[in-house]
Structure 1
Amino acid sequence: MMRYFNPRCRLAFATILMLLDLLAGCSLAPPYTPPQMALPASYKGTGPFALANPQAQLAQGDWWNMFGDEQLNHLEASLNAANPNLQAAEETYTQARDIVGEARSQSFPQLSAQAYGSKNRQSEHRLFRAAGAGPSEEGSLGYGAALSWEPDFWGEIRNRTNYAKANAQATAAMVASARLSLEIELANDYMALRGLDSEHAVYRKTLAYYSEALKITKLRFAGKIAAGLDVERAQNQLSSAQAADTDIQAQRGVLEHAIAVLAGENPSTFSLPAEGLASLAIPRIPVGIPSALLQRRPDIAQSERQMAAENAAIGVARAAFYPNIQLSANAGFQDDAFGGLASLPNSLWSIGASAALPLFEGGLRRAEEQQSKSAFTQAADNYRATVLQAFREVEDQLLLTNSLVSENTQQQDALRAALKVQDLALRLYTNGLDNYLSVTVAQVAALSAELATVQVQTRQLQAAAGLIGAVGGGWSTADLPTSKQTIPFNPVAFHHAPGDVREPN
């Protein structure tokens, strides 16, 4: 219909459209750039778990395969498939995406349909009723549609949507962090359980040795070449070792229950066969360079996305200082019977626009803006704290892996010496060249050395798992959903995309 406009009207209309387009592209959020931090060129703690290539990174995928234990692989797979805490965390991401859909919906026109019918009667003696004023009883039928739209002149809706998108990305990183934490916890529990199995094997060997020593003391006592004190000392050693072994079995049972829950199984029907540490290999772990850690840790990505969300919130707060403009339209038909509901003379319509500008609200808008700026600064502080904590964890695990390698070598030397002393002390006692107190001391030292050796090996495996967790477990920011992927569905689609919603069991 524009051909009927005069040139001035066309120019004015085009100018208005250009102005609306410019305003619609306006955003009052500050420009956002990811934070920059001064990072070292290399880690202070370098050791046997870092490959020679400083650019090497832990490969993506199932990191637990590096330990070469099929049972651990099966348990970790069960955790990812059935752990209820992990599944609950994943639902938070589904909900965060739906919040994106809710925020984004406000950028579209809102269309609704309505239909109504009523039968109405007025009093014959109502106030100011004129004689012959018409019927007192009449029906009313109607239907129509309503359209409303809030032009996003100041970017409030876009910034609300951007806030929701960044928050959804932060939630996805939180889920990845929770998954990695559970995986590391399961690996630690599994390694601790295998360590207890190895300790149990040590006790079984020790109990056999102690039983043999007790027989020797009894024979010597029967031959009146040893005192009864020797028998009691030997019995005490044997009984104490039996009690300690019973405690080991109790600890193992508790760990087995914890592993069952992590794997999403019922502890009452779950069991793991006894097997020592021999099935677990200590892997070589590439830690990469410090600057890459920012892209490998999901908790760092979560903090960064929370900063981006708070930056968008500043734009929302600033938009509140400007007019809120809404456009609306209504159209329909109304009659007192069905027959005339579709006739043009019974049509009705209205078109309107409204604008509201805050003039004085006692500092409300200013307070909201300052609050949003403070929230952004707080998010930046949290980001810096998260990065520092991440570097601390990497350095801690590198220090542990270095120390435990040396400690294991030293402990092996101590074990060999203690076993030699134990055998020598028992031979001297058997030949009547020493008393049983020396045997007792040697036995205690040998058992302690064997248990300490197993415990160091267990800690080595756990430190390796901890280092894997500290460098991100093979995760990277490339695994984060893009801004577009946080949109849950197409607003004109009336069905869920596959995998959008997990139905409750």
Structure 2
Amino acid sequence: MNAAPPGRFLPPLSRCMALLGGCAVLAGSLGGCVDLAPKYRHEHYLLSDDWKGDGLMQYGHPSDAAPRGDWWTVFNDSTLNELEERASRLNPNLQADAELFTQARDIAAEAQSNLYPQITGGAGASQNQASQHRLWRGAGSQGPTYMSSEQYSATARWEPDFWSSIRNRRRVQQRMAQAAAADFATARLSIQSELANDYMQLRGMDAQHAVYLDSIHYYETAVQITKMRQAGAIAAGIDVSRAQTQLFSTQAADTDLQARRAVMEHAIAILVNVTPADFHITPRSQITFPKVAIPVGIPSTLLERRPDIASAERHMAAANRAIGVSRAAFYPHVTFSATAGFMDNGFTLDKIANGMYNYAAQAVLPLFQGGLRRAELQRNWSQYRQSEDQYRATVLDAFKDVEDGLSMTHGLDVEAAQQAEAVQASMRTQNMTMQLYTGGLTNYLDVVVAQVAALQARIAEVQVETRYMQAQVELIRSLGGGWSTAELPNNKQLRPFSPLQYTHLGMPTPVKGVSVDNGPESRDLSGKGFHDRDLTASPK
């Protein structure tokens, strides 16, 4: 009698697991050894050796102190600091962008799961009764008409990744998740810069309001002077009318300014997650922001600082990996599967005689699909070249933003000094003209002209100062706001949960400071969390 073949009397489930184990060893030695994606090379461009900006902007070097993550602190304003900190945590649009990053992480985890065997378990029971007069049941048949069945089984399916198709799908999604992280950083920087711009515009309006109040007080005195001269028959009634026109038109302009300030304040309230009715910022009479010397750095460092450039580069890397997926479609795909379990019409399911199993290996190679695979491959190559073009366009836009910021800050700095001279000259003219009118040496029309020129010069001076501060904010934003590619999560950090985690899946593990759990504070729209002295409840 011949000896039994090895493994003949192994339980069915053990046989299937042994088969899968052997296949895993084989695929482990072969799978993934062929990567059909083209070798990815980061784009390198020929750049100029220096920026063209001048003035307060410094030509930087890698060791220079570039703006940091909390870049707004350079303006030394406690109210702005508090507003920025709150917006960075609680802005609803920013929180929504954080959720997009979480979803991208989960999609990457889904793609990675295909590298592992997919194992499922099942159990079932049924009771079945057939008619005694069913078709093909012969007369006098003693066959059963009632049968019960109980079973349980396990199924495993696995596709070895011989051509790195699954790995490249995973890499595509990982790079897309990194791009989503860079998109979140771009959105955060955009909201931070928008808030700083709005806040500086608000403070500029406060300074303009102070100018209007000073001018209104001056014009009220002028009306009194013209009325006194009219009462003494020294001046005509038209002088009083002209003085009153100037007074009332200035009051109207100030009222319009206050309405626009309220609208700007409402915009800031929304950015910091507060209802406008519960939000008010105490006015200030002067712009107190310091001028900041911002080190620009050498041009090549900009590519490492801008999150939008990083996002464009990650999209380009993902498109590169997609080519490998399309190439793998030209090769056979092998799948191993196995099912094992027990079935009986009672509860004696643990007997070997009641075991059942099947295992199979399948290889699929598309032979003719009417050009489908070639079309997909050509489309992926086109998408990769498109991503290269978009990356280059993003880089050019970044350099434009920096050059715009350098030009604006330098030009507005010079303009502010020139406007200050204009204010001094117009104020001297206004004072001298009023003295001449009081002495009867000129008419009041000259006084009105001088008053209008002085008021316009003073308002323009405040506006130039405001635009200069906003230009500084835009320059910092164009330099990336202190962000760098080191803040992008790596592939291991992208996993939103541990491999064997089965609890607390509602919230992903935070990574690189991106958290979607802001607690009950995000639902408090009353603004009660503010403590700065310049932030008060809106007056009732």
Q: Which amino acid aligns with 1:308?
A: A
The 5 A counterparts of 1:54-73 are: 55-73=63-81
- Structure 2 residue aligned with 1:457: 465
**1:27 deviation in Å?**
1.4
SS of aligned partner of 1:144: strand
Q: Which amino acid aligns with 1:443?
A: Q
SS of aligned partner of 1:486: coil
Cα–Cα, structure 1 residues 92 and 277, in superposed 2: closer, same or farther, change >3 Å?
farther
Q: 2:42 aligns with which of 12, 21, 34?
A: 34
**Pairing 1:156–2:154 present:** no
Q: 2:316 aligns with which of 307, 310, 317?
A: 307
Cα–Cα, structure 1 residues 172 and 41, in superposed 2: closer, same or farther, change >3 Å?
same
The 5 A counterparts of 1:382-401 are: 382-401=390-409
Q: 2:299 aligns with which of 284, 290, 295?
A: 290
Cα–Cα, structure 1 residues 245 and 303, in superposed 2: closer, same or farther, change >3 Å?
same
SS of aligned partner of 1:326: strand
- Structure 2 residue aligned with 1:173: 182
| Per-residue Cα deviation, 1:62-85 (whole angstroms, up to 9, x for no partner) | 100000000000000010111000
| Per-residue Cα deviation, 1:103-151 (whole angstroms, up to 9, x for no partner) | 0000000111100001112232333334535201100110011111011
Q: Is the 8 A contact 2:105 2:174 kept in 1?
A: yes
Cα–Cα, structure 1 residues 214 and 391, in superposed 2: closer, same or farther, change >3 Å?
same
SS of aligned partner of 2:128: strand
Alpha-carbon distance between aligned partners in 1 of 2:62 and 2:341, rounded to the nearest angstrom: 71
| Per-residue Cα deviation, 1:191-216 (whole angstroms, up to 9, x for no partner) | 00000000000000000000000101
Q: Which amino acid aligns with 2:163?
A: W
| Per-residue Cα deviation, 1:216-259 (whole angstroms, up to 9, x for no partner) | 11111111111111110000000000000001100100000000
Q: 2:217 aligns with which of 197, 200, 208?
A: 208
The 5 A counterparts of 1:177-256 are: 177-256=186-265
Q: 1:330 aligns with which of 328, 339, 346?
A: 339
SS of aligned partner of 1:76: helix
SS of aligned partner of 1:41: coil
Cα–Cα, structure 1 residues 4 and 118, in superposed 2: closer, same or farther, change >3 Å?
closer
Q: 1:491 aligns with which of 499, 503, 511?
A: 499
- Structure 1 residue aligned with 2:532: none
Q: Which amino acid aligns with 2:160?
A: P
Cα–Cα, structure 1 residues 198 and 333, in superposed 2: closer, same or farther, change >3 Å?
same
Q: Which runs of 5+ in 1 are unaligned?
A: 6-12
Alpha-carbon distance between aligned partners in 2 of 1:123 and 1:27, rounded to the nearest angstrom: 60
Q: Which amino acid aligns with 1:101?
A: A
**1:357 deviation in Å?**
1.1
Alpha-carbon distance between aligned partners in 2 of 1:15 and 1:97, rounded to the nearest angstrom: 30
**Pairing 1:444–2:452 present:** yes
Q: Which runs of 5+ in 2 are unaligned?
A: 8-20, 511-515, 524-540
Alpha-carbon distance between aligned partners in 1 of 2:449 and 2:171, rounded to the nearest angstrom: 70
Alignment TM-score, normalising by the size of structure 2: 0.88
Cα–Cα, structure 1 residues 115 and 53, in superposed 2: closer, same or farther, change >3 Å?
closer
Q: 2:96 aligns with which of 75, 83, 88?
A: 88
**1:24 deviation in Å?**
2.9
**1:495 deviation in Å?**
3.2
Shift >6 Å, 4+ stretches = 13-16
- Structure 2 residue aligned with 1:10: none
Q: Which amino acid aligns with 2:113?
A: S
Q: Which has the higher helix share?
A: 1
Q: Which amino acid aligns with 2:102?
A: T
Q: Which amino acid aligns with 2:151?
A: G
Q: What is the RMSD computed on CA atoms of the aligned residues?
A: 2.1
Cα–Cα, structure 1 residues 277 and 467, in superposed 2: closer, same or farther, change >3 Å?
farther
Q: Is the 8 A contact 2:312 2:391 kept in 1?
A: yes
Which region of structure 1 is more displaced relative to structure 2, 75-84 or 42-51? Answer: 42-51
**1:89 deviation in Å?**
0.3
**Pairing 1:25–2:30 present:** no
- Structure 2 residue aligned with 1:369: 377
Alpha-carbon distance between aligned partners in 2 of 1:342 and 1:319, rounded to the nearest angstrom: 43
| Per-residue Cα deviation, 1:339-369 (whole angstroms, up to 9, x for no partner) | x111221111111111211111111111111
SS of aligned partner of 1:24: coil
Alpha-carbon distance between aligned partners in 2 of 1:327 and 1:133, rounded to the nearest angstrom: 43
**Pairing 1:422–2:433 present:** no
Cα–Cα, structure 1 residues 472 and 15, in superposed 2: closer, same or farther, change >3 Å?
closer
Cα–Cα, structure 1 residues 250 and 394, in superposed 2: closer, same or farther, change >3 Å?
same
SS of aligned partner of 1:386: helix
Alpha-carbon distance between aligned partners in 1 of 2:65 and 2:293, rounded to the nearest angstrom: 12
Cα–Cα, structure 1 residues 26 and 401, in superposed 2: closer, same or farther, change >3 Å?
same
Q: Is the 8 A contact 1:25 1:153 kept in 2?
A: yes
Alignment TM-score, normalising by the size of structure 1: 0.94
Q: Which amino acid aligns with 1:486?
A: L
Q: Which amino acid aligns with 2:481?
A: G
**1:57 deviation in Å?**
4.3
Q: Is the 8 A contact 2:56 2:293 kept in 1?
A: yes
Cα–Cα, structure 1 residues 408 and 162, in superposed 2: closer, same or farther, change >3 Å?
same
Cα–Cα, structure 1 residues 277 and 308, in superposed 2: closer, same or farther, change >3 Å?
farther
Q: Is the 8 A contact 1:297 1:472 kept in 2?
A: yes
Percent identical pairs in the alignment equals 49
- Structure 1 residue aligned with 2:122: 114
**1:428 deviation in Å?**
0.2
Q: Is the 8 A contact 2:62 2:297 kept in 1?
A: yes
Q: Is the 8 A contact 2:60 2:297 kept in 1?
A: no
SS of aligned partner of 1:142: strand
SS of aligned partner of 2:187: helix
Q: Is the 8 A contact 1:107 1:152 kept in 2?
A: yes
Which region of structure 1 is more displaced relative to structure 2, 19-28 or 447-456? Answer: 19-28
| Per-residue Cα deviation, 1:264-285 (whole angstroms, up to 9, x for no partner) | 1111100000014433222111
Alpha-carbon distance between aligned partners in 2 of 1:119 and 1:475, rounded to the nearest angstrom: 66
- Structure 2 residue aligned with 1:411: 419
Q: Which amino acid aligns with 1:35?
A: E
Alpha-carbon distance between aligned partners in 1 of 2:366 and 2:340, rounded to the nearest angstrom: 31
Q: Is the 8 A contact 2:98 2:184 kept in 1?
A: yes
Q: Is the 8 A contact 1:303 1:382 kept in 2?
A: yes
Count, aligned residues = 495
- Structure 1 residue aligned with 2:527: none
Q: Is the 8 A contact 1:57 1:288 kept in 2?
A: no
**1:463 deviation in Å?**
0.7
Q: 1:257 aligns with which of 263, 266, 272?
A: 266
**1:21 deviation in Å?**
1.7
Q: Which amino acid aligns with 2:349?
A: L
Q: Is the 8 A contact 1:94 1:500 kept in 2?
A: no
SS of aligned partner of 2:207: helix
- Structure 2 residue aligned with 1:8: none
**1:494 deviation in Å?**
2.1
Q: Which amino acid aligns with 1:194?
A: R
Cα–Cα, structure 1 residues 126 and 246, in superposed 2: closer, same or farther, change >3 Å?
same
